[in-house]
Structure 1
Amino acid sequence: MFVSPMLLHKSEQPFEDKEFITELKLDGIRLILSKFNNQIKLYTRHNNEVTSKFPELLHIDIPDGTVLDGEIIVTDKDGKPDFEAMMERFQSKRSNHHIQFCVFDIIYYKGEKITHLPLIERKDILESLIHNDQYFAKVQWMLGKGEAYFDIVKQHDLEGIVLKRAASKYQINKRSQNWLKVINYQYADVFITGLRKDEFWLLLGIEEINRIKPAGIMEFVSPAGRKQFYKQFQDLIIEEDKKFIHVDPKIKCRVKFRNYTKKGMLCIPSFVEYIS
């Protein structure tokens, strides 16, 4: 049985509040695991059934009538979540990447919906239900300490933290201020090298010795930022193809992004400000 998961709002900064618990934000794929009629089924957050992709997860010993919420991850040699490796595993059964389902909430238990229970009580149920092994793990959490934990996350180049109100109910298919994510962004100064014709995507490049190296695409630009770009780019056009208009890299801006990909591209860059 699919349940549309509760979603997070964003907080620009971590904070210290003992009414909130703090968890590590895991860089993987959101997964809903359900067991009804003694059959385990797996769903993405968009209600795509992916049961056949992860046979390792189909033998968990949980009561019938249970629905779990969590993140499926692949870790690198240092034990950090590796999203690119996770996508390789997701897209190909032939991939030998080892997965782990990290469970952080429970929505149904023994056939009863328990979304009305405070998060802290749902965590207690999880504690007794999930036993850590090579394929399953409970997401560790602590009361408060958001600022201190975020400092540790930055030191280890992890994705970020999640702050959740300890008394919060589980709000199915809702984005709630009771659950907040704080992303450990990186920043870079890049050049705009082009734009896509049919959708607003900007091509980005990073300056290297004697060249501009491609750095990916950027979709997230403020309305004011787009307006300023449109005022400038016409005089900088150097060529076009079927998909893109290429421009002389004269417009420079600062962007924030999650991390560098293995190919040196910026992961999910978003516009901050123009610097030239």
Structure 2
Amino acid sequence: MSLPLIPPMLATPGTLPPAAQDARWAYETKQDGQRVVVYLPGDGSLVLRARSGDIVTAAYPELGPLGRSLGATPAVLDGEVLALDEEGRADFQLLQSRMGLVHAAGRAARRATEVPVHLVLFDVMHLGQRSLLKLPYIRRRAVLEELGPAGPHWSIPGALVGHGEQALRATREHGLEGLVCKRLDSVYEPGVRSRAWIKIRNMRSADVVVGGWLPGKGRLTGLPGAVLVGQRAAGRLRYVGGVGTGWSDAERTELAALLRAAETDVCPFDPVPPVAGAHWVLPRLVGEVRYSTRTRAGMLRQPSWLRLRPDLTPEESAADLPDDLA
């Protein structure tokens, strides 16, 4: 049968619901993967579409058997493709080695044996001949659990009703990306970034040493568009990423003056990062940044600037790089 194309419903960044409304919400772990809508026509096949609408089925051949899991019952499911690290946590860097293989079926099959993916299914929008979009979340969740599509490469993650503070704390304690809060009575809104779903990203902070900058463009011409930062480990300054957000106009102007005063021709990072157009500075400015997670190489993901730390010297700035990256 022909299944309806349904763009995924999106969550709005926010904070936990008020304590008085806690029991009206369900809490799911926020996953760090590739969002997909799963189309199961009921003939044993499946089609995976990314948020963009692009078909990405060929990149994940190990998910093919999911097409037979519901028998002849057509369905449209919502989920996320993950690549898991050795501790069972989603690792987006690992997944990136799979995402680009949509048009390379042979390579995708080989890579599947090296970096297998896992699909978490957290919603059902269509089943049989019936649209479920207008059903409340709690009923759609019950339908999904009754379907029970479990297999070696896919599963239904847990959802906790109420106890939002405890759920968020658990994600932080286990180093997970965050939490998604879903109102129990919420309908499925295709393609809408809805307040009925709230995402909370666990952010960490770190002290970093500024070692360079990249010129801004457009209205930022003449100002730093991003600063290049590192952390000291094993007696050297290791590059951990570029930070391009978090300043007011006044703060960016102040930072520009500090960077110009510290300019040097010598890169302070060891090893030298492959950053085109970089301007190097003496590594004497310390700042605090916020970030979500680190890559396996120790790079900061989604960093944003918090503040300068004039109270710290570069030698005093804390480094929390893994020992094997020092």
TM over 0.5: yes
**1:240-275: CA deviations, max 9, x gaps?**
985222222333221111222211111221122222
- Give the direction of change, closer, same or farther, for the CA distance of 1:264–1:242 in structure 2 (3 Å limit): closer
More strand by share: 1
- Give the direction of change, closer, same or farther, for the CA distance of 1:103–1:239 in structure 2 (3 Å limit): same
Residue 23 of structure 1: how far off its partner (Å): 0.8
Distance 2:129 2:279 in 1: 55
Distance 2:81 2:90 in 1: 10
- Give the direction of change, closer, same or farther, for the CA distance of 1:28–1:14 in structure 2 (3 Å limit): farther
One-letter amino acid of the structure 2 residue matched with residue 46 of structure 1 = S
2:303 equivalent in structure 1: 269
**Structure 1 residue 35 and structure 2 residue 69: aligned?**
no
Distance 1:195 1:262 in 2: 24
Structure 1 contact 198–243 (Cα < 8 Å) conserved: no
**1:70-127: CA deviations, max 9, x gaps?**
1111222222222222222333523221211100111222243322111111101111
- Paired residues in the alignment total 276
Distance 1:178 1:186 in 2: 26
**1:116-144: CA deviations, max 9, x gaps?**
11111110111112332211101210111
**Structure 1 residue 232 and structure 2 residue 261: aligned?**
no
Distance 1:260 1:14 in 2: 28
2:270 equivalent in structure 1: none
Distance 1:216 1:264 in 2: 9
2:318 equivalent in structure 1: none
Residue 192 of structure 1: how far off its partner (Å): 2.2
Unpaired runs of 5+ in structure 1? Answer: none
2:285 equivalent in structure 1: 251
Residue 33 of structure 1: how far off its partner (Å): 0.9
1:1-276 → structure 2 map (5 Å cutoff):
2-12=5-15, 16=19, 17-36=22-41, 38=43, 39-60=45-66, 61-62=69-70, 65-92=74-101, 93=108, 94-95=110-111, 96-197=114-215, 200-208=225-233, 210-224=235-249, 225-239=251-265, 242-276=276-310
**Structure with bigger gyration radius:** 2
Structure 1 contact 14–147 (Cα < 8 Å) conserved: no
Unpaired runs of 5+ in structure 2? Answer: 102-107, 218-224, 267-274, 311-326
Residue 65 of structure 1: how far off its partner (Å): 4.2
- Greater Cα shift, 35-44 or 155-164: 35-44
**1:202-236: CA deviations, max 9, x gaps?**
21111335432111112332334434323432222
Residue 155 of structure 1: how far off its partner (Å): 1.7
- Give the direction of change, closer, same or farther, for the CA distance of 1:37–1:138 in structure 2 (3 Å limit): closer
Distance 2:90 2:184 in 1: 25
Structure 1 contact 14–150 (Cα < 8 Å) conserved: no
Residue 21 of structure 1: how far off its partner (Å): 0.3
Structure 1 contact 107–170 (Cα < 8 Å) conserved: yes
TM-score in terms of structure 2 length = 0.77
Instruction: Name the Cα RMSD after superposition.
Output: 2.3
